[in-house]
Amino acid sequence: MIAYAHRACYERSIVSDNVPSSAPSTPTPEPSHAELLEQLKTQVPEVLFAMVSGRLNAYAHELAYSKLKIQALEERLRLRRIEKYGPSSEKLSSLQLELLEQEPGVSRQEVVAESQRPAPPPATERKKRPHPGRQTLPADLPRVERVIACTPEQCVCGNCGRDTTLMGYEVSEVLNVEAARYFVEVTKREKRACKTCPEQGVMAAPLPDRIIDKSLVSDEVIINTVVNKYCDHAPLYRQSVALLRDAGIDISRATMCGWVMTIGEMLMPVVGAMRSHLLAGTYIQAGRVENRRSGFSLPVAS
């Protein structure tokens, strides 16, 4: 019978929705419980309405009783917690008492200190700030233009059939990136000799200085590895895997560690100059940074 009542109300709502109205629709307030019962009374038989309304009243009384029972249980639980933590806990809210239950080993002094703490100010609604707008891209970045032409249909007027005139462009900017491109740099050094003086031998152009002589990679690759390790916090084993994926070259982590050690030895004069600059001052702040993995601690000065 309840299904029949729901179906009757549903059919009525469909019929009322399909009726055309000449006036513009305006939002109407939702009907109350009593109004819904009055509408249902006109749509279903009296016997069915009496059954449905009686069951709804029973549900309402059961819900009210459940709320009162929950409230009584919460008050009883609050009294038990106040007996547990002492009279000073009466000033605490139910939520604070619940948090004390989750904190093991709470002393009486802590409960007293918590009760004497001033209550936080009531939360106020934050005013919505206006959106600052779209962020502008840096002006020093190079611009690469891409022109999108109109379709052939847009190049011809749909009314007279003449060609349309270009008036300008709608310009928008997005940040783009080019993936790292690995290539092999081939160095050719000139070799020269005198035809009339063979005893002079062959002379070749001198090689520029490199970080690691006879290394398989260039200085740029070594510098990029050190920057990724210490600035971007990329471990060497991840860089080794990325180099194998992007360039097809398998360079072990031990080889990369040798690059890092070589650059560290080259930077020792800079470290000495920084030490002399720190010692020349009259005040130095010092501390220690502990490495949780290795267990070592390193001194840090500023």
Task: Supply the pLDDT for residue 234.
Answer: 94
pLDDT of 301 over the 90 cut: no
pLDDT of 131 over the 70 cut: yes
Task: Supply the pLDDT for residue 48.
Answer: 77
Task: Supply the pLDDT for residue 18.
Answer: 45
% of the chain with per-residue pLDDT over 90: 37
Among 22-31, 116-125, 212-221, 243-252, where is mean pLDDT lowest?
A: 22-31
In the chain, helix, strand, coil percent, each to 5?
50, 5, 45
Task: Supply the pLDDT for residue 290.
Answer: 63
Q: How far apart are CA 299 and CA 262, in angstroms?
A: 22
Q: What pTM does this model have?
A: 0.49
pLDDT of 236 over the 50 cut: yes
Q: How far apart are CA 119 and CA 19, in angstroms?
A: 57
Cβ-count burial of 147 within 10 angstroms (0-12 exposed, 13-18 middle, 19+ buried)?
exposed
Q: How far apart are CA 2 and CA 156, in angstroms?
A: 65
Task: Supply the pLDDT for residue 99.
Answer: 72
Mapped onto helix, strand or coil, the DSSP state of residue 146 is coil
How many helices and strands, by DSSP H and E, does the chain display?
9, 4
Q: Predicted confidence band at 267 (pLDDT cuts at 50, 70, 90)?
A: very high
More confident call, 102 vs 177: 177
